[in-house]
C-alpha cells in the first residue's frame, strides 16, 4: 500500500521549548542591558558629585609685556624666542651713548653748582649713584614679591618661598636705607644743605634722573621665565611703554578647571586632583585644589547704568554655567610640560568619594592612554 504524500500541514512546527529559550534569552539580555544602563547612570550621578571631572581645563601662568622705559634704538638683543631666562638677566639694550652723555652733563652741572656754594660734590654724586642702584633693585624685588604674595594667597607657592621673598624685600629696603644715609652723610661732609642750596638740589635731581635713564637702557627679566613673541630686531626704535616681547613666568603656574555648578558641592581646598596634560600624553600628574571661584560673568550686554540683557536659552534644558576651580601642581616632574594655555583633563577626588575614588583613578589613567591619539 503506497504512502500518502506529505502536505504543508504535515511539516513539523518548531518545538515550544525553542520558543521559550529564545524568549528567555531576549528577556535576560534586555534586563542585563537595563541593569547596565542603570549602573552607568548611578555611577554618572555619583561621579558628578564626588569625583567630578572635566576636559575644559587650561594651564595658566603670569604673562607680562616687556617694554622699554626709555626711548632709543635697540643696540643689542641677547635672547631668542622661547629662551628660558633667569631673574635679572639682560634681555636687550637700548643705545646708551646719549644717556651716558646726559649723566656726564648732569655731573658737570652738579660740580658747577657745588663750586658756586663752595662745596665738594664728588662724594655726593658717588653716594647718589649707589642710592639709584639700590632703589632700582628694590623696585624690581617689590614687583617680584607682589606677584609671589598674590599667588601665595591662592596657595600656589609654599610658605618657604614667601618667607624667602619677604627676606629679599627686607634686605633690599635695608640697602636703600643705607644708601640714603650714606648720601646724607656725603652731603653733610660737603657742606650741602638742600633747603639752602636749590641749585645743588636741582643738579642732584637732574643727575638722579639721568642715572636712572641710563640704568633703564638695559631691559632685564623680571623673574625666572621664558621669552616669547619677540618680533623686533637690532636697529628698531623703541618708545617708552611700547611692548617689545612677551615674558611668561615659569615659576608660578596653575590650572584653571571649569566645572559645572552641580559639580562644586563637595569640592574643598586641599582635595586631591589628578590631571592629564595634552603636552604630556600617557602621564598622570598630581595636583591639589586651591580654591573655587565665587562668580563668573554671565551678562552678554548689560553694564552699570543700563538695564540687564538676560541670557536666552534654547531647548528643554538650559546650558550649565561653569565656574573655575584653581589647582596647583603637586609635583615637579611636570614642570617641563606646564605651558601657558595648554589643555588638560582633570578629575577631583572629594573627601566623600568612597569607592568612586578607585573608579576615577582607573578612568583618568584610561584618558592618559587615549591622549596619545587626540
**Residue spans per domain, the chain:** 46-60+250-297+320-370, 97-216
Superfamily of domain 46-60+250-297+320-370: Efflux pump adaptor protein, beta barrel domain (2.40.30.170)
More confident residue, 374 or 321: 321
More confident residue, 117 or 14: 117
For residue 325, list its beta bridge partners: 257, 292
What's the mean per-residue pLDDT of the chain?
Answer: 80
Q: How far apart are CA 311 and CA 329, in angstroms?
A: 35
Helix (H, G, I), strand (E, B) or coil at 83: coil
More confident residue, 242 or 333: 242
What's the pLDDT at 78? 93
Q: What is the pLDDT of residues 6-49, one digit of tens each?
A: 555 555 555 566 667 777 777 777 777 887 787 776 666 767 88
Q: How far apart are CA 46 and CA 73, in angstroms?
A: 63
Helix (H, G, I), strand (E, B) or coil at 44: helix
DSSP secondary structure string, 167-208?
HHHHHHHHHHHHHHHHHHHHHHHHT--TTT-HHHHHHHHHHH
Q: What is the mean predicted confidence (pLDDT) over 274-288?
A: 90
Q: How far apart are CA 211 and CA 106, in angstroms?
A: 9
Residue 91, Cα to own-chain centre: how many angstroms?
21
Q: How far apart are CA 317 and CA 264, in angstroms?
A: 19
Q: Which of 145-159, 171-185, 234-248, 289-303 has the lowest mean pLDDT?
A: 145-159
> Strand 218-220 to strand 225-228: parallel, antiparallel, or no bridges (unpaired)?
unpaired
Global pTM reads: 0.65
Q: What is the pLDDT of residues 80-115, one digit of tens each?
A: 998 989 888 899 999 999 999 999 998 888 778 777
What's the pLDDT at 1? 46
Among residues 17, 94, 40, 59, the alpha carbon closest in space to that of 252 is found at 59
Amino acid at each position: 500500500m503506497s504512502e500518502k504524500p506529505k502536505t504543508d500541514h504535515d511539516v513539523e512546527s518548531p518545538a515550544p521549548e525553542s520558543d521559550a529559550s529564545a524568549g528567555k534569552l531576549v528577556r535576560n539580555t534586555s534586563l542585563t542591558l537595563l541593569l547596565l544602563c542603570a549602573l552607568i547612570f548611578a555611577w554618572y550621578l555619583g561621579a558628578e558629585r564626588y569625583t567630578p571631572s572635566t576636559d575644559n581645563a587650561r594651564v595658566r601662568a603670569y604673562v607680562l609685556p616687556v617694554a622699554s622705559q626709555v626711548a632709543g634704538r635697540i643696540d643689542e638683543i641677547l635672547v631668542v624666542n622661547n629662551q628660558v631666562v633667569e631673574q635679572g638677566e639682560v634681555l636687550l639694550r637700548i643705545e646708551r651713548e646719549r644717556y651716558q652723555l646726559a649723566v656726564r652733563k648732569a655731573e658737570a652741572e652738579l660740580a658747577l653748582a657745588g663750586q658756586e656754594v663752595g662745596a665738594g660734590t664728588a662724594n655726593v654724586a658717588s653716594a647718589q649713584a649707589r642710592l639709584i642702584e639700590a632703589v632700582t633693585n628694590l623696585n624690581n624685588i617689590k614687583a617680584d614679591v607682589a606677584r609671589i604674595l598674590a599667588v601665595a594667597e591662592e596657595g600656589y607657592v609654599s610658605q618657604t618661598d614667601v618667607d624667602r621673598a619677604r627676606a629679599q624685600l627686607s634686605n633690599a629696603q635695608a640697602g636703600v636705607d643705607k644708601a640714603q644715609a650714606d648720601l646724607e652723610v656725603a652731603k653733610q661732609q660737603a657742606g650741602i644743605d638742600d633747603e639752602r642750596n636749590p641749585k645743588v638740589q636741582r643738579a642732584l635731581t637732574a643727575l638722579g634722573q639721568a642715572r636712572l635713564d641710563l640704568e633703564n637702557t638695559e631691559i632685564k627679566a623680571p623673574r625666572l621665565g621664558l621669552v616669547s613673541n619677540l618680533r623686533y630686531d637690532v636697529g628698531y626704535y623703541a618708545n617708552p611703554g611700547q611692548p617689545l616681547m612677551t615674558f611668561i613666568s615659569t615659576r608660578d603656574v596653575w590650572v584653571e578647571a571649569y566645572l559645572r555648578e552641580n559639580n562644586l558641592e563637595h569640592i574643598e581646598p586641599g582635595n586631591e586632583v589628578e590631571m592629564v596634560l595634552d603636552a604630556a600624553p600617557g602621564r598622570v600628574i598630581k595636583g591639589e585644589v586651591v580654591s573655587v571661584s565665587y562668580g563668573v560673568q554671565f551678562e552678554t550686554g548689560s553694564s552699570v547704568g543700563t538695564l540687564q540683557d538676560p541670557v536666552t536659552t534654547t531647548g528643554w534644558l538650559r546650558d550649565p554655567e561653569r565656574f573655575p576651580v584653581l589647582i596647583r601642581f603637586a609635583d615637579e616632574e611636570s614642570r617641563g610640560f606646564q605651558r601657558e594655555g595648554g589643555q588638560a583633563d582633570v578629575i577631583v577626588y572629594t573627601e566623600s568619594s568612597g569607592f568612586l575614588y578607585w573608579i576615577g583613578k582607573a578612568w583618568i589613567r584610561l584618558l592618559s592612554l587615549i591622549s596619545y591619539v587626540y
